[in-house]
Structure 1
């Protein structure tokens, strides 16, 4: 990964959660430098940083997708906190939860509720 691409990915991650870049980079680099290149480089430097959607909208879409998937509770909680950090309101998160109940099912919504409660609690504690 070029230093510029790594820096771009970590800077975008920092805008979502100021404490995340060092923690995530340390976790990924501990196994292989390739993970930061492939995972963060693709996700944040190549896709999320594109100008077609603002970061607030991208986070709402990410939260929706992770809720619908129902298989990534840690990432869901992180991205709900990130969404709050970039201006998505609690009320909007609740509306996303209700929308997911309709299109992805009540179990996906229930998983989202659990993640949202943790994220809201963490946001209040900060």
Structure 2
């Protein structure tokens, strides 16, 4: 039996965003649970589950897009966490953000770089960095 879009999306959400993604969905429960359901089904169940790109490439593209939009800081932070969760290197994220200065402008790149700095300064990332150092 094949998984439903929702089940497939939940699995991808957990794999990509872990606790941060689940918190976003839970935060919609009291105002619009359908938006949480649609977020699980379409982006994660349909798009992120496609075979054409690996999760690292998808997250780099997402970080670039959110940086270029320039007004999606909460979503950008979630996807910066996600990018780190799927093995993007900090240097790769910096380069993607820097590249966006050319196409989206310096204000967008500056805001995104500060968002990355904030993400890297959070305890969750410090915990993950410590775990990866221990596993080396």
User: What corresponds to 2:34 in structure 1?
Assistant: 34
TM-score (norm 1): 0.88
CA contact (8 A) 2:21 2:78 kept: no
Distance 1:75 1:116 in 2: 12
CA-based RMSD? 1.7
5+ residue gaps, structure 1, are none
Deviations, residues 5-50 of structure 1 (Å, cap 9, x unaligned):
2222121111123213542332223223321332221111111111
User: What corresponds to 1:100 in structure 2?
Assistant: 100
User: What corresponds to 2:10 in structure 1?
Assistant: 10
TM-score (norm 2): 0.82
Between Structure 1 and Structure 2, how many residues are aligned?
124
The 1:24–1:91 alpha-carbon spacing in structure 2 relative to 1, beyond 3 Å, is same
Distance 1:21 1:117 in 2: 19
Distance 1:36 1:125 in 2: 28
5+ residue gaps, structure 2, are 129-136
Q: Quick check: 36-45 or 47-56, which moved more?
A: 36-45
Distance 1:23 1:105 in 2: 31
Establish whether residue 62 from structure 1 lines up as the match of residue 62 from structure 2: yes
CA contact (8 A) 1:13 1:20 kept: no
